[in-house]
Amino acid sequence: MIYNILDKISQQSSDISKLVIKMKFSCCDLTSKEINDLANPELPDELAVRILKAIGHPLRLKILRLLLNQQELCTCDLTSVFEEQQPIITRQLAKLKAEDLIIGRKITFNKTGTMESKSNGKWTAYQINPEKREFITHLLSPFISTKQTENHCD
């Protein structure tokens, strides 16, 4: 008798576990493919993640914000503004450059202190990649104050 009861319980629990497996555990009824179709085809998820990682550091975010405001700055300007050592700034710039968010050009300074392009220049001046400027502005807009600041770098 006990064996019959255990057998019935076993049979019922097997049926219940099959039912539980078939149940949905979410109110979302989209399939994985449908969720993937929500992605922007011009910005694959892997690229989006790399870009978000690139700006996901406080100093890199500040650098992008400053370059959006100042147009172009030399590495020496960035070290001064952020009061960081040159290798730290250069490392952060390299990560932004690796994702093509910024571009650099070799420069030198003439006797009046004005930047000049020079292929063998000692310094590098950086700016937001013009092809990505609108994208970066849109992406960072929630993190940028709407109040205007003076350009003290000219």
Listed as own residue / partner, the contacts of 88-94 with beta carbons closer than 8 Å and 24 or more positions apart are 88/59, 89/59, 89/63, 92/57, 92/59, 92/60, 92/63, 93/63, 93/124, 93/126
How open is the CA angle 88-89-95, to the nearest 5 degrees? 95
Alpha-carbon span 140 to 54, nearest angstrom = 12
Cβ(28)–Cβ(107) below 8 Å: no
What's the CATH code of the domain at 96?
A: 1.10.10.10
For residue 9, being part of any structural domain is answered with: no
For residue 76, being part of any structural domain is answered with: yes
For residue 30, being part of any structural domain is answered with: no
Q: Which of 60-64, 67-71, 130-134, 146-150 has the lowest mean pLDDT?
A: 146-150
Alpha-carbon span 53 to 67, nearest angstrom = 18
Read off the pTM.
Answer: 0.69
For residue 75, being part of any structural domain is answered with: yes
Tens of pLDDT, residues 53-71: 999 999 999 999 999 998 8
Burial class (CB in 10 A: 0-12, 13-18, 19+), 101: buried
For residue 17, being part of any structural domain is answered with: no
Residue 57 lies in domain: 46-143
Q: Tally the domains of the chain.
A: 1
Tens of pLDDT, residues 75-120: 989 999 999 999 999 999 999 999 999 999 988 788 887 777 877 7
CA 99 to chain centre: 9
For residue 2, being part of any structural domain is answered with: no
The DSSP string of 13-72 is HHHHHHHHHHS--SS----HHHHHTTS-TTS-HHHHHHHHHHH-SHHHHHHHHHHHHHSE
Alpha-carbon span 47 to 53, nearest angstrom = 10
For residue 12, being part of any structural domain is answered with: no
For residue 127, being part of any structural domain is answered with: yes
